[in-house]
Structure 1
Amino acid sequence: MLLRDLTTLRLGGPAGSYAEATSSDELVSAVTEADAAGTPVLLVAGGSNLVVADEGFPGLVVRIATTGVTLEQHDTHVDVTVAAGEPWDDFVARAVASGWVGVEALSGIPGAVGSTPIQNVGAYGQEVAETITAVRVWDRVLKGERTFRGEECAFGYRHSRFKSDPARHVVLDVTFRLERGEQGAPVKYAELARTLGVEPGERAPLRDVREAVLGLRAGKGMVLDPADHDTWSAGSFFTNPILTPAQADALPADAPRFPQPDGSIKSSAAWLIDHAGFAKGHGNDRVSLSTKHTLALTNRGGATTADLLALAREVRDGVEAAYGVRLVNEPVCVGCAL
């Protein structure tokens, strides 16, 4: 099995061995047997957040293919428990169709449900941290199941306790609390509000929010399309940098600045990349920035992981040289590093 066949970047060498888990029991069994044998384990679900070395992964690759959705219905909300291997956008589509509010702005994001709490996936003003009430995991250190309440997950910007110790916890399922209604959550993201024709803080119908987000993402090459090399990516390759006030003050006057509750300042990685001289399409015929969005690094066909990492380093180092801000990669590097 080649990892390039399991990742949205379509990059990565061979797996030492491969297993597919279609139930939580199979997943736990595969991981515990490998741990007992001292075999390294790589868990793959949607493969949308992985950069895998050309040499591949020498241990056991386990594809998480678990499925299942269970409901607890209440008058004003539903508690929905979703298996880790369920495709994320399938779940969002079901939520919108069912009148469940709280994940509609996360439409079109590739990957599986179990990956979303690890990164605290977010887009267009929503984060999964806002609706997750529980994450059930297999703890590879304690060798048993644990359930973390939402407030115990230490969610932050593209961060969680699971990302802090990525080898320890195997996500089995995630529980979301979603309000009932036909109107989406208040729209927080200015670009989405403009597209919907509402003011920030106002609401729009769930279906309209989903369609608007899908349109915005497609326009940026962020909806998977096998025929479009702009979507052969890991999504946003760099996180938006969190800066001290002094760092933010050193940026050009027109650089985006978004004050955070803790006094830090969030800026825009895409703006920094573009203004450091890396335009859409920068690169070569193997790898380049997306022609639709500077924040995505794309495989144009025939690329290697080494090609992609060389481009990532060029962009990261160029931004640091121009603005003194060192961008951090969002996808997880396996057997390689920037």
Structure 2
Amino acid sequence: MATRGITARPLGQDQVEIVAQAGEPLGSLVAFTVAAGLSGIEYLGGIPGTVGAAPVQDTGAYGQQISDTLTSITAHDWQHGHTVELLPADCGFGYRTSTFKSRPGRWTILAVTLRLTRSQVAAPVSYGHLAGALNVPLGSRPPLAEAASGVIADRQARGLTLPASGPEARQAGSAFLNPPITEAQATAVRAAGGPVHTDMQGVVRASSGWLLAQCGYQPGIRLAAGVFCSSHRVLTVTVRDAAAAGDVARVLHTMAARVLTAFGVQLRPEIVPLGW
């Protein structure tokens, strides 16, 4: 989508409605809202992609998801041949998924409407990485602009931003979703020093990156001809030279199989594969 533009409309003393066109970079929308003193998506800075892409997998970071503040989506319905307004209940939002992701090709997202709150402080910090980057305790609410800057710095330090060029530029972000695990598996992971968290739907999940590291995968490791783990993190698979989609597919199958053998945990791709 090449459409650009952001408009704001006051909804009262504390609320503001934001309408962003689908082609607007998500980072530009975050910067706009932070500069306007609006809280609700300040922790989504530094995530590559457009506003229209964000609802597809309910993009989120540091405890915020785009669906938290989304009130409607304008989309073209290719099945019925007309443009519609979709409410959050129509979108099937879940952990890194939505109706748009599970039914690719049905809709083209044209614009996204959010409801944000006037505030000079950010949402409570709930992630240790961000608390460390901001040098604040968990649960605190740092100044809005400071929190947004801290997010960018933390993402860059951990290799979570997309470089414009170089060997790390050909990638699709995290290769796998954090998998759901049983209570027994959670106990075993904790005992081994691994991270376990509960998502917004109350599902207990392990860290895909940690599981892969326990299976011998390390940052920068060569996985196949032209396919590597990112030099920053094992969960991001990068492509160099003449490697093709089929090479990446085989690598992901192998990585998931090793985790399944070692832990009995099934990894599922966060990348949407087409034609595999």
When normalised by structure 2's length, the TM-score is 0.91
Relative to structure 1, is the Cα distance of residues 302 and 261 closer, same or farther in structure 2, using a 3 angstrom cutoff?
closer
Relative to structure 1, is the Cα distance of residues 87 and 259 closer, same or farther in structure 2, using a 3 angstrom cutoff?
closer
What is aligned with 1:109? Answer: 47
What is aligned with 1:208? Answer: 146
Relative to structure 1, is the Cα distance of residues 263 and 102 closer, same or farther in structure 2, using a 3 angstrom cutoff?
closer
What is aligned with 1:281? Answer: 220
Larger RCO, structure (CA 8 Å, separation 6 or more): 1
Contact 1:251 1:323 in 2 (8 A): no
> 2:163 pairs with 225, 230, 235, which one?
225
Contact 2:63 2:127 in 1 (8 A): yes
Q: Distance in 1 between matches of 2:264 and 2:7?
A: 48
Moved more, 302-311 or 272-281: 302-311
Residue 74 of structure 2 corresponds to residue 136 of structure 1: yes
Q: What's the CA shift for 1:319?
A: 1.1
What is aligned with 1:40? Answer: none
Q: What's the CA shift for 1:326?
A: 1.5
Q: What's the CA shift for 1:107?
A: 0.7
Q: Distance in 1 between matches of 2:40 and 2:248?
A: 35
Q: Distance in 2 between matches of 1:263 and 1:270?
A: 20
> 1:96 pairs with 31, 34, 53, which one?
34
Q: Distance in 2 between matches of 1:234 and 1:241?
A: 18
What is aligned with 1:170? Answer: 108
What is aligned with 2:247? Answer: 307
Relative to structure 1, is the Cα distance of residues 95 and 262 closer, same or farther in structure 2, using a 3 angstrom cutoff?
closer
The answer for unaligned runs of 5 or more in structure 2 is none
What is aligned with 1:322? Answer: 262
What is aligned with 1:159? Answer: 97
Contact 1:84 1:172 in 2 (8 A): yes
Moved more, 222-231 or 112-121: 222-231
Q: What's the CA shift for 1:186?
A: 1.4
Q: Distance in 2 between matches of 1:138 and 1:259?
A: 34
Deviations 1:158-196 (A, max 9, x none): 012222322212111110111112211111212111221
**Which one-letter code corresponds to 1:320 in the other structure?**
L
Moved more, 217-226 or 251-260: 251-260
Contact 2:17 2:115 in 1 (8 A): yes
What is aligned with 1:292? Answer: 232
Q: Distance in 1 between matches of 2:32 and 2:128?
A: 25
Q: Distance in 1 between matches of 2:16 and 2:201?
A: 32
Contact 1:230 1:292 in 2 (8 A): no
Deviations 1:74-127 (A, max 9, x none): 321211111111111111111111211111111111111111111000112211
Moved more, 97-106 or 248-257: 248-257
Relative to structure 1, is the Cα distance of residues 211 and 263 closer, same or farther in structure 2, using a 3 angstrom cutoff?
closer
What is aligned with 1:259? Answer: 198
- DSSP 3-state at the match of 1:105: helix
When normalised by structure 1's length, the TM-score is 0.75
Q: Distance in 2 between matches of 1:296 and 1:218?
A: 14
Contact 2:133 2:153 in 1 (8 A): no
Relative to structure 1, is the Cα distance of residues 151 and 193 closer, same or farther in structure 2, using a 3 angstrom cutoff?
farther
Q: Distance in 2 between matches of 1:218 and 1:92?
A: 16
The two structures, once aligned, show a CA RMSD in angstroms of 1.9
**Which one-letter code corresponds to 2:205 in the other structure?**
K
Identity of aligned residues (%): 37
Contact 1:121 1:128 in 2 (8 A): yes
Residue 6 of structure 2 corresponds to residue 66 of structure 1: no
What is aligned with 2:131? Answer: 193
The answer for unaligned runs of 5 or more in structure 1 is 1-63
**Which one-letter code corresponds to 2:152 in the other structure?**
L
Relative to structure 1, is the Cα distance of residues 260 and 116 closer, same or farther in structure 2, using a 3 angstrom cutoff?
closer
What is aligned with 1:45? Answer: none
